[in-house]
Amino acid sequence: MVENMKKIIVKDFEKCIGCRTCETICSLSHEERVNPVEARIAVAKYEESGWNIPTLCQKCEDPVCVAVCPTKSIKIDPALGPEIDYSRCIGCRLCIMACPIGGVGLNPISRKTVMCDLCGGDPKCVKVCTTQALEYQEDENLSIEKRGENVGRLMKFLQGVNQ
Amino acid sequence: MSGYAGRILMVDLTNGQLKTIPTHDYSEQFLGGRGIAVKLLFDLQPPKRSDATSPENPLIFMTGPLTGTLAPSSGRIDVVTKSPETGLLGGANAGGFFGPELKYAGYDGLVVTGRAPQMAYIEIYNDEVEIKDAREVSGKGVQETVKTLRGADERTQVACIGPAGERLVNLSGIAFGTRNYAARCGVGAVMGSKNLKAICVRGTKGVPITNPDQLQALADQMRERIKTMPSYRDYPEWHHKLFRILESDGKTFFGNYEDTAWKDRFEAYDEAERFIKTAEFRSQTCFGCPLRCWAYINVKGVGGGSIAACQGTLTSLANFPKIKDFNKIWKAYLLMQDFGMDTSGTAAVVAFAMDLYSKGILKDADVDGIDLSYGNGNALISMVEMIGRREGLGDVLADGVKAASEKIGRGAESLAVYGKGGLGLWLMEVRPFKGVALSCAVTDSGSQNRATYGLCEFYYLSMKKSAEKAAQSITGTQDAAIPTKYDHKPALVAGYEDLHILADSLGVCAIPFMPVGLELWGKAFVACTGKDTEPSRLKMTAKRIRTLERLYNIQQGMSRKEDALSNRLFDEQLKDGPWAGEKLDHEKFEQMVAAYYALQGWDDEGRPTPETLKRLGLT
């Protein structure tokens, strides 16, 4: 394996049927209770247009959250990307405000940010996704075509929303 | 108290009083969902029998211990009240996302009594519960109501009634979001009678789980079983395939139960396929469910909305009134959803009116100038609006098929088809299917959707081997699957009822319940709650719930003679199709009823015996 090859969770919102099992398993495995607001992944549901859009931390190479964190509590793990050290996090929510893709959220119980930790490299949400709307892939396998395809879909969706 | 939220919210709309009661007082005996709801209905019924639309009639929403957990297909909520359509127990069950959210807010259920001085809605955010003025959404359709009350927060779940519920239409249901309905038995009219427009809920407490690792392993296994159901792959295509599946199972009929071989039916099936394949189409599902029964469909120039691949939706709207213009059907469907109506019951009552019109019982002067001929899509659309608003003929039909037939008279009574208490049947020919017939007569509410969903008789013609296998496992004999035989049907129906009651009480969907199997659901219950149980104990609980439902109906004045179907199903045989010549036989039917009572431990009049009450702990 190439030294700096990374795996990320790839989302395909055209495959997502909106069952929210990813949220359920995420909260259950991290918090020992089922509570979707504490999940590191959230499915944005647009009932009136039938779209379901999973959102989670995309493990950016140049993470804005790291840059804005005043206590330097977001560290970059070489394999897993950004992760939060909760002993340092003061719950200022700056990372939530700054994240341009809505990848992190507020846990209303702990009052701190929740960020996907890829379950330490074996993400459970991917395993329970029955339609493969979530896949755990090596980032370099995401070809130019794949990116083009996704952008095209996003454009189509955004046009639909703006109509 | 793991698995459960632990409390049930009680709202008295007359005086605005709010309180909670512990779920634990009920869960040991009645499990959850339907079971606890029936117990509460029984306990809270007014001392003197009163109207379903009187303030005293409790309207109960109840989730189960698996609702909103990782157990698959666990988005269900049960709604129980006295039905204005039958005067007996009324029950309906819905999927979607409302049930889980209610639990995350800290409530297993919600009991509404009384009547608000003016149209109100209940807003729940964890421990904050408020009764608010609903003037803004009063008279509005389901779409606008949900949109307005939800605001920018898609996570707020809204249950509401449309204009039909506000006008106490017996064919009105309660919408959960803009798509899932507790549709049957007139539960929407009961909500309307309480001046309750909506309930909004948002919760951030979550549900504790006793053994998360065990639940994860079980849920993987359960999802796998659902995904290996033979029909799983085809689910997204059922919206049009169902027409042909109903035909191949010999279940289909057209119009007002007079025709199983409508000459244009294949053209209609082709139209259905073309309609689905050319529309904007996205598969949808309910909370935690791999099945994808739902789809968002958008048709340019007509509109968009979500629909379930179900006998009660497209097939009902096409087959009952014999309409093959799917743009008209889609428009009528969207209207019914927005008015908050039971799509299947409404289609059936319109077909009934069309039949009366074709026979000259309803004349032009009676139908407000509408050409009520079979096949007229515009007539269906107009009738939906008139029923939803209780205008003209719509006001008569709004009470349901039995009451409408009595009001119209002139021979209409003998053409009406219904089950227990006068509840309209769903889109399914009953006469050849003796188990279905029994179920529509003896079940809690007359609503077969609460008793024998997936009964093996249904698929006997197309999947004989699996039907026989299912019959064998429930009754010990594969012959029980043969639709036209009366033998073994009491045991078959009682067996399916038990499973259905358990699905509705655990808070999961009845469709995947049987393919997954009771044993795994039981284990998931143990993993969630830390309580001990096994299938035999769960079945005992089902029997307890079933008998309590019976006790409630008896207290409402029901006797054996209400466990009946309309005479037409006994008098008029099927003219054509695979079951030509079939009708029900009075004597054999009554023998089935008696044998069913005996199996349940009830006497000849259907009254639970003292020994049964004692055995079930209901004394």
Give the DSSP letter string of B74-88: ---EEEEEE-TTTSS
Maximum average pLDDT range among A60-64, A78-82, A146-150, B61-65: B61-65
Mean pLDDT of B391-401: 97
Yes or no, beta carbons of B216 and A37 under 8 Å apart: no
CB-based contact, B64 to chain A, within 8 Å: no
Strands (DSSP E) found in B309-358: none
Q: What angle is formed at CA B125 by the lines to CA B119 and CA B129, rounded to 5 degrees?
A: 50
- To the nearest 5 percent, what fractions of chain A are helix, strand and coil? 35, 20, 45
B191 with B165: CB under 8 angstroms? yes
- Alpha-carbon distance B160 to B340, whole Å? 8
- For the domain A7-162, what is the CATH code? 3.30.70.20
- Alpha-carbon distance B508 to B72, whole Å? 8
Show residues of chain B in contact with A47, CB under 8 Å.
Answer: 146, 154, 177-179, 306
- Alpha-carbon distance B372 to B379, whole Å? 6
How confident is the model over B547-567, as pLDDT tens digits?
Answer: 999 999 999 999 999 999 999
What is the pLDDT, as a whole number, of residue A1?
A: 45
Residue type, B600: Q
Question: CATH number of B434-615: 3.60.21.10, 3.40.640.10, 1.10.599.10, 3.40.50.300?
Answer: 1.10.599.10
What is the pLDDT, as a whole number, of residue A143?
A: 65
Show residues of chain A in contact with B72, CB under 8 Å.
Answer: 21
Yes or no, beta carbons of A35 and B143 under 8 Å apart: no
Q: Provide the 10 A C-beta neighbour count for residue A151.
A: 10
- For the domain B234-421, what is the CATH code? 1.10.569.10
pLDDT class for B201, splitting at 50, 70, 90? very high
Q: Provide the edge-to-edge strand list for the sheet that holds B89-94.
A: B17-22, B7-12, B109-113, B59-62, B77-82, B89-94
Q: Which residue of B has its CA nearest to A131?
A: B290
CB-based contact, B69 to chain A, within 8 Å: yes
Is the pLDDT higher at A161 or at B14? B14
B416 with B401: CB under 8 angstroms? yes
pLDDT class for B574, splitting at 50, 70, 90? very high
Question: How many beta-carbon pairs below 8 A join chains A and B?
Answer: 100
Mean pLDDT of B301-312: 94
pLDDT of residue A147 exceeding 50 = yes
pLDDT of residue B133 exceeding 90 = yes
- In sequence order, the 6+-apart residues with CB closer than 8 A to the CB of B129 are B9, B11, B18, B122, B123
Show residues of chain A in contact with B290, CB under 8 Å.
Answer: 19, 130-131
Mean pLDDT of B444-449: 86
Q: Provide the 10 A C-beta neighbour count for residue A62.
A: 7
Please name the helix (run of DSSP H) or strand (run of DSSP E) that holds residue A43, with its range, or none: strand A42-46
DSSP state of B172: B
Residue type, A149: E
% of residues, chain A, pLDDT over 90: 74
Please name the helix (run of DSSP H) or strand (run of DSSP E) that holds residue B128, with its range, or none: strand B128-133
Q: Which SS3 state, helix, strand or coil, does residue A123 take?
A: coil
Give the C-alpha distances (Å, rounded to integers) separating B619 from A79, B502, B505, B547: 64, 22, 21, 12
| Beta-bridge mates of residue B605 | none
pLDDT of residue B496 exceeding 60 = yes
- Alpha-carbon distance B284 to B303, whole Å? 17
Q: What are phi and psi of A65, to 5 degrees?
A: -60, -40
Task: Give chain A's contact residues with B (Cβ, < 8 Å).
Answer: 14, 17-21, 24-25, 27-29, 31-38, 44-52, 108-109, 124, 127-128, 130-131
What is the pLDDT, as a whole number, of residue B347?
A: 97
Q: Which residues of B492-503 are buried (b: 16+ CB within 10 A; e: fewer)?
A: bbbbbbbbbbbb
Q: How many CA atoms are closer than 13 Å to the CA of B88, on its beta-carbon side?
A: 25
Show residues of chain A in contact with B104, CB under 8 Å.
Answer: 34-37
What is the pLDDT, as a whole number, of residue B246?
A: 93
- Alpha-carbon distance B287 to B102, whole Å? 13
B124 with B107: CB under 8 angstroms? yes
Yes or no, beta carbons of B70 and A34 under 8 Å apart: yes
Q: Which CATH architecture has domain B7-202?
A: 4-Layer Sandwich (3.60)
Give the C-alpha distances (Å, rounded to integers) separating B493 from B435, B436, B503: 6, 8, 15
CB-based contact, B208 to chain A, within 8 Å: yes
pLDDT class for A146, splitting at 50, 70, 90? confident
Q: Which SS3 state, helix, strand or coil, does residue B490 take?
A: helix
Treating both helix axes as pointing N-terminal to C-terminal, what angle do B535-555 and B586-600 enclose, rounded to 10 degrees? Answer: 120
Least confident range from B46-50, B108-112, B320-324, B326-330: namely: B46-50
pLDDT class for A144, splitting at 50, 70, 90? low
Distance from CA of B325 to the nearest CA of A (A): 24
- Best probe of the B interface among A34, A37, A46, A111, by most B CBs < 10 A, is A34
Residue type, B170: N
- Distance between alpha carbon A156 and the CA centroid of its chain, in Å? 21
Q: Which residue of A has its CA nearest to B102?
A: A35
- Structural domain boundaries in chain B: 7-202, 234-421, 434-615
- Alpha-carbon distance B379 to B321, whole Å? 9
Put simply, whether the predicted model's pTM sits higher than 0.90 gets the answer yes
- Nearest Cα to A56, choosing from A75, A47, A43? A43
- Nearest Cα to B560, choosing from B398, B442, B481, B424? B442
